[in-house]
Amino acid sequence: MTNMTAADRHRRLRLLGTLVGLSVALGACNLSGGEVVTASVPDDYRLRHPIAVQEANRSVVIFVGNARGGLSVPQRADVLGLAQTWVREGTGAIVADVPVDTPNARAAASAYGEIRSLLAAAGVPPRGIALHHYHPDDPRTLATIRLSYPKIAAVAGPCGLWPEDLGPSLLNKGYSDNKPYYNFGCASQRNLAAMIDNPADLEQPRSETTAYTARRTAAFEKYRKGEPTAIAYPEAEKAKLSDTGK
């Protein structure tokens, strides 16, 4: 083996430094422009888009004309319906936003008096109604009376978030693993939350109601006599598809 000259050693050190610099430059290259975190998004849509129980507002808007101080029949039905639901699910007072310094301010004040009477007749106490005056931002729009109250509601979302591509790309790390996309299941979770009548059902079952004594007594009487306890529906045979058109 021949001895390495000083020029050869200098050339090899320079080549080694070039290779180290190139490897560092390639390692620092990041096409996504940010930190890549793996396994940060759960695969289960129920964990990715959970249904949360929180307080939300329920509101009804009453349109009031300039020359009409009372409520129409559909508006009375809306106010009574709001009062009935408040008694069942309300967690705070009903706030009535009534406009002032508008062309229909006098009619709105008269309509608010009728609204208070309807709410009181439906079981809302006087301390459960709060009056709030407001000035409309746009004077060209018709000022309305808004009735709102807080309630416990189930919510999910927001939906429509697409942080990654759906197709194969360098930015979609889960495409080759056949993982669901981020927005998968969000719409079904949001619709389920909107259909829940009592959000407490998500946490615990309801208590059992009392049995129907009359039906239970009739079933026990048939069982004592040895008769079938099932209910017979004579009209059910007439609704068969094979009897259609006869």
Residue 38's pLDDT band, with cuts at 50, 70 and 90, is very low
236 part of a folded domain:
no
23 part of a folded domain:
no
225 part of a folded domain:
no
Summary mean pLDDT of the chain: 82
Q: Across residues 4-12, what is the average pLDDT?
A: 69
100 part of a folded domain:
yes
Among residues 75, 106, 215, the alpha carbon closest in space to that of 83 is found at: 75
Rounded alpha-carbon distances, angstroms, from residue 163 to 32, 42, 101, 166, 194 = 11, 14, 47, 10, 25
Neighbours of 99 (CB within 10 A): 22
77 part of a folded domain:
yes
Among residues 149, 14, 173, the alpha carbon closest in space to that of 87 is found at: 149
Residue 124's pLDDT band, with cuts at 50, 70 and 90, is very high
pLDDT > 90 fraction of the chain, expressed in percent and rounded:
39
The residue among 203 and 116 whose pLDDT is bigger is: 116
- Give the model confidence (pLDDT) of 162-209 as tens digits: 877 776 666 666 566 677 788 889 999 999 998 988 898 888 888 888
Q: Across residues 58-81, what is the average pLDDT?
A: 91
2 part of a folded domain:
no
15 part of a folded domain:
no
**How many domains are contained in the chain?**
1
pTM over 0.75: no
166 part of a folded domain:
yes
Could you give the CA distance from residue 231 to residue 218 in angstroms, rounded to a whole number? 11
CATH code where residue 144 lies: 3.30.1330.60
Residue 140: domain span: 38-203
Question: 150 with 92: CB under 8 angstroms?
Answer: yes
Q: Across residues 113-135, what is the average pLDDT?
A: 94
